[in-house]
Amino acid sequence: MTNKTPDIPEGPEPQYDRVVSGYEIFRSDEPFACRWGGSLPRFELAYETWGTLSETRDNAILLHTGLSASSHARSHPRNPTPGWWEDFIGPGLALDTDRFFVVCSNLLGGCYGSTGPPSPNPATGRPYGTHFPILTVGDMVRAQLMLLDHLGIDRLHASVGASLGGMQSLEIAARAPERVGRLVSISAALRSYPQSIAIRFVQRQALMADPDWAAGHYYGASFPYRGQRVAREIGTITYRSGPEWQERFGRRRRGDGPPRLDEDFQVEGYLAHQADKFCLQYDANSYLYISKAMDLFDLLEEGEQERPLVDRLRCPALVVGVTTDVLFPVWQQRELAEVLEKRGIPVDYLEIDAPYGHDTFLIDLDRIGGGVKVYLEHDF
C-alpha cells in the first residue's frame, strides 16, 4: 500500500488493480428497466465471497464498493492479488470471516466483470458505449438484491460501504428494510450536494472534451486517455487532504533544474502518477456513468409513495465521518446521523481525525476497521 514512484515520497495508497479473473458471475436473463428510462435485455454482476454461509443463512454481509473498485476486496486462491480492503476482511479482522460470509460485487455499470458501457450490446454485438442507460444507485442496489436472491440470502446481517458504497448501504436498507439487519455508512451522505456534484461535473467535462472520447464510442480505437487523466487528477485532489500533502510533499520540486510547466512539484508528479495508473485500469464511460449515479443520489427526495426513501429505514446504523474529508465533508455524516436519530433509528456515530481525507476508509485499519468490527459483532 505504498507509492514507489521515483522522486515522489512514499505514502499509503489504496490497492486498486484491473481485475479480469477470479470472480464469479451472476446472470439475469430478464429485462432490467432503469429508473430514468431505457433497459438492459439482460445483465451480469461479477462477485466474490469470503467465509462460509451459515446453515441458517443469517451471517451474510454485503460489502458495497466505491466508484472505481472491483469485486476483489480481498485475496483468495482464485486471485491471490491483494484486494482493495485486504486488511479489513479475514479471520479475526473487521469483517471476520470466521463469523461472517462476505459478498462483494462489481457495480452494475462497472468494467470489472459486470455489465456496463464496455459490455456488448446484444442488439448490435458492439459495446454499449453511451447507448447504455443512465443509472442510479437504486438501479445498482436492485441488481444486488437479485444477486442475493440467487445466493439464497433473504436477510443480511449487515450492509457495509464507504463513499458510493455508503450510499448503496443506505439505499438497500431503505429499499428492502426487511432484508437488512444493520448498516454501516462511512464517508457518505443522505444526498449529493452541489459542491460534490460540481466537482464530478468538471471531471466528466474534462473526459468528454478529449477528442478520442468520440461521443463514448471509442472501443477498438484510441481511448480518451488525456481527458480521463485530468478527470482523475481532479478526483485525487478530493480523495486526499491538505494536511497529509503538506507533510508528505510540502513545496518540494522533482528536480534542481529551472521550473517546468508540467509535473514540476512533487505533488504534481503524484497526481500525474495516480492518474496514469488509473487510466490503464478503468473504463472511461463507466467512470462517467457511475459518477453521474452519485450525483443523482438523494434519500430525501420524495419517492413513489410521496415520502422520502429515508423514511423507510428501520435498522440500526453506524455512521462514520472523517474530519479532513473534502469530497464528503464531515457535516454531511453528522447530518445523516441526526436525520436517522430523528426517525427513531438507533445510531452509533464515529468521527475520525485523520490526515488522509476521504481515502481514510481504505487506509486507517485501527480506527475504521476497529469501529466497524465492534459494531458488526455487537448484539442488539
Catalytic residue positions?
163, 325, 358
C-alpha 21/C-alpha 79 separation (Å) is 7
Using DSSP, state whether 310 is helix, strand or coil.
helix
* Cα-based distances in Å from 358 to 68, 295, 301, 362, 365: 14, 17, 25, 9, 14
Question: Model confidence over 316-374: pLDDT tens digits?
Answer: 999 999 999 999 999 999 999 999 999 999 999 999 999 999 999 999 999 999 999 99
pLDDT of residue 10: 72
Q: Cα torsion at 322, 327, 330, 334 (round to 10°)?
A: -120
Phi and psi, residue 343, nearest 5°: -95, 15
pLDDT of residue 27: 98
C-alpha 378/C-alpha 255 separation (Å) is 53
Q: Residue for cell digits 469485486?
A: 71
Q: Which domains does the chain have, with CATH numbers?
A: 24-191+301-377 (3.40.50.1820)
Of 64, 189, 46, 38, give the one whose Cα is nearest residue 121. 38
pLDDT of residue 305: 62
Over residues 250-266, the mean pLDDT reads 90
When pLDDT is cut at 50, 70 and 90, the band that residue 21 belongs to is confident
Of 127, 86, 91, 77, give the one whose Cα is nearest residue 1. 86
Q: Which amino acid is at 269?
A: G
55 compared with 4, residue with greater pLDDT: 55
Burial of 373 (0-12, 13-18, 19+ CB in 10 A): middle
pTM: 0.94
pLDDT at residue 64 is higher than 70: yes
Over residues 99-128, the mean pLDDT reads 97
> In angstroms, what is the C-alpha Rg of the chain?
20
Burial of 306 (0-12, 13-18, 19+ CB in 10 A): exposed
Of 25, 109, 72, 139, give the one whose Cα is nearest residue 284. 109
Question: Model confidence over 185-227: pLDDT tens digits?
Answer: 999 999 999 999 999 999 999 999 999 999 999 999 999 999 9
- Dmax over CA atoms of the chain, in Å, equals 68
Over residues 104-128, the mean pLDDT reads 97
pLDDT at residue 133 is higher than 90: yes
